[in-house]
Amino acid sequence: MNYRENPANGNKVSILGFGCMRLPQKGMRIDYEETRKQILYAIEQGVNYFDTAWPYHNGESEVVLGRIIKDAGIRDKVFIADKLPPWVVQKAEDIERIFQKQLERLQTDYIDYYLIHALDGKSWDRIRTFGVEEFLKKVKAAGKIKNMGFSFHGSREDFKRIVDEYDWDFCQIQYNILDEQNQAGKEGLEYASSKGLAVVVMEPLRGGNLAREMPSQAAKIYDSAPRKRSNVEWALRWVWNHPQVMCILSGMNNMEHIKENIRIAEDALPDSLTTEELDIIKRVADSYRSAMKVPCTGCQYCMPCPAGVNIPSCFEHYNNYHMFGKKIMSKAMYHAQLGGLMSVKKQLASQCISCGKCVQHCPQSIDIPGEMKKVSKELEGFFINNLMKIVGVFFKRMGRGELKS
């Protein structure tokens, strides 16, 4: 296993992190024995970073991860990452309540890497009003949090602002061959690194989409490379090629995939891809982009929308829906991220009132209100909107601890 150093404290972190978002399941519950087997195998092979969160498997992910680590007696050999869900916080006391519950679920006295989950500019401004900075300083001083960070899905400007507005140790960004200019992007990665933050990368395969069957044009480009690699290997190596990246998270639940990821991580060194290889990857990314429905670059110049629509995110989900198949999963992710489950307010395409204010700001000359009608028609609808309302009520009650968790 390769390790990279956390510039904040010298921690040697495995470049492959185990994401505990989609653990093996038996029915509706986590398959404990299979998960244990996979996690202990990964640890034997040198993986030492495990990432969980409050909502993963409705809290069961934290419980299972904590139990496996405690029973194996290896708490001091691994780094646990966990996250504060800002959308669950309704009053200042909720922050402490959630944190204490997480320590209890994980059966530990401290969390190595603690993040505020899925921030954007608005959710950061909101969670600050509950005194989150003072709370985090207090628990860090008490040794209950070793490294403080945030995960991010928003504009580059907001990303830089958040980096500058607190004394973070690390951050977690979405970064992959299709998102070099999207969200925090390459500029954000370099910015955070220049400020001394360790950077953890999530979604290296864009929610698994880059691991699926590729558009034929993209497959031909990889086939023409002198060195044969799978699409997963190309995509992971591209992220690890960036020296600013400390660790990549992979949501693993299959032993073959775990072995394959560990094999790739053995020799994925920074700046190890050749100019020719980087050009091949760029052509593949361009080929994916040509299959996009809307040529949105995620620049955010159209934001904010007075009706609350998250314009670039709507287009990102719409493009994923058309580029990668997996239509049900794409719809679920659209509603989860923009329908109020993992955000304080809804930010859906159907909220567009066609005011036209955004259009003049779009450098790509996209007919935004016209496209919003299409996004709404294809990704929303009576059935799924109501289904997500029910899921939302369940999810919020779970967040408040009213249901068993």
Is residue 379 within the footprint of ligand SF4 (CB under 6 A)? no
| Min dist. Cβ of residue 366 to ligand SF4 (A) | 5
Please tell me the distance from the alpha carbon of residue 90 to that of residue 277, in angstroms, as a whole number. Answer: 49
Contact present, 200 and 189 (Cβ < 8 Å)? no
Q: Which two tokens stand for residue 382?
A: 């009576």
Query: Coil, strand, or helix at residue 66?
Result: helix
Our finding on whether 300 is near ligand SF4 (CB under 6 A) is yes
Is residue 364 a contact point for ligand SF4 (CB under 6 A)? Answer: yes
Q: How far is CA 151 from CA 154, 188, 192, in A?
A: 10, 12, 12
Q: Which of 362, 384, 387, 398 binds ligand SF4 (CB under 6 A)?
A: 362
What is the spatial distance between Cα 159 and Cα 46, in angstroms, rounded to a whole number? 31
Dist CA 142 CA 135 (whole Å): 11
Q: Is 375 in the site for ligand SF4 (CB under 6 A)?
A: no
Residues touching ligand SF4: how many (CB under 6 A)? 28
Question: Taking CB under 6 A as the rule, does residue 338 contact ligand SF4?
Answer: no
Residue 161 CA from chain centroid, whole number: 19
Piece of 34-42, 106-114, 296-304, 382-390 that binds ligand SF4 (CB under 6 A): 296-304
Least Cβ distance, residue 8 to ligand SF4 (angstroms): 32
User: Quick one: CA dihedral 67, 69, 72, 75, positive or negative?
Assistant: negative
Under the binding rule (CB under 6 A), the answer on residue 403 touching ligand SF4 is: no
Sequence-distant contacts of 370-378: CB under 8 A, at least 24 apart: 371/294, 371/315, 371/318, 372/309, 372/311, 372/314, 373/349, 374/293, 374/318, 375/314, 375/315, 375/317, 375/318, 375/349, 376/348, 376/349, 376/350, 376/352, 378/318, 378/321
For residue 293, state whether it binds ligand SF4 (rule: CB under 6 A): no
Tell me how far apart the alpha carbons of residues 146 and 9 are, in angstroms, rounded to a whole number.
Answer: 9
Strand partners, 288: none
Residue 68 or 302 with smaller CB distance to ligand SF4: 302
The nearest distance, CB 154 to ligand SF4, in angstroms, is: 12
Task: Decide whether 270 or 369 has the Cβ nearer to ligand SF4.
Answer: 369
- When the beta carbons of 246 and 358 are compared against ligand SF4, the nearer one is 358
* Residue from 299, 384, 391, 398 in contact with ligand SF4 (CB under 6 A): 299
Q: Please give the Cα distance from 400 to 340 (Å, whole number).
A: 15
Closest to ligand SF4 by CB, 268 vs 305, is 305
Both ends of the chain: CA-CA distance in Å? 35
Site string for ligand SF4, 248-287 (x = CB under 6 A): ----------------------------------------
With CB under 6 A as the contact rule, the residue among 361, 377, 389, 397 that binds ligand SF4 is 361
Q: Which of 98, 285, 311, 341 binds ligand SF4 (CB under 6 A)?
A: 311
Q: Which is nearer to ligand SF4, 30 or 309 (CB)?
A: 309
Q: Is the N-terminal amide bond of 306 cis, ω within 30° of 0?
A: no
Q: How far is the CB of 177 from ligand SF4 (least distance, A)?
A: 19
Does the protein bind ligand SF4 through residue 357 (CB under 6 A)? yes
Nearest approach, Cβ of 179 to ligand SF4 (angstroms)? Answer: 13
Does 368 interact with ligand SF4 (rule: CB under 6 A)?
yes
Judge whether 114 and 83 are in contact, CB under 8 Å. yes
Helix ranges (H only) for 274-326 are: 275-290, 311-323
Q: Which is nearer to ligand SF4, 47 or 178 (CB)?
A: 178
Residue (149 or 312) nearer to ligand SF4, CB = 312
Rounded Cα–Cα distance for residues 148 and 395 (Å) = 26
313 binds ligand SF4 (CB under 6 A): no
Query: What counts of helices (H) and strands (E) characterise the chain?
Result: 15, 12
The DSSP-derived string for 111-177 is EEEEEEEEE-HHHHHHHHTTTHHHHHHHHHHTTSEEEEEEEE-S-HHHHHHHHHHS--SEEEEE-ST
Q: Does 298 bind ligand SF4 (CB under 6 A)?
A: yes
Which residue stretch of 34-42, 109-117, 307-315, 376-384 sits at the interface with ligand SF4 (rule: CB under 6 A)?
Answer: 307-315
The answer to whether 367 contacts ligand SF4 (rule: CB under 6 A) is no
Out of 302, 323, 338, 342, the residue judged to bind ligand SF4 by CB under 6 A: 302
Tokens of 252: 């693993």
What residues make contact with ligand SF4 under the rule CB under 6 A?
A: 296-302, 305-307, 309, 311-312, 315, 352-358, 361-362, 364, 366, 368-369, 372
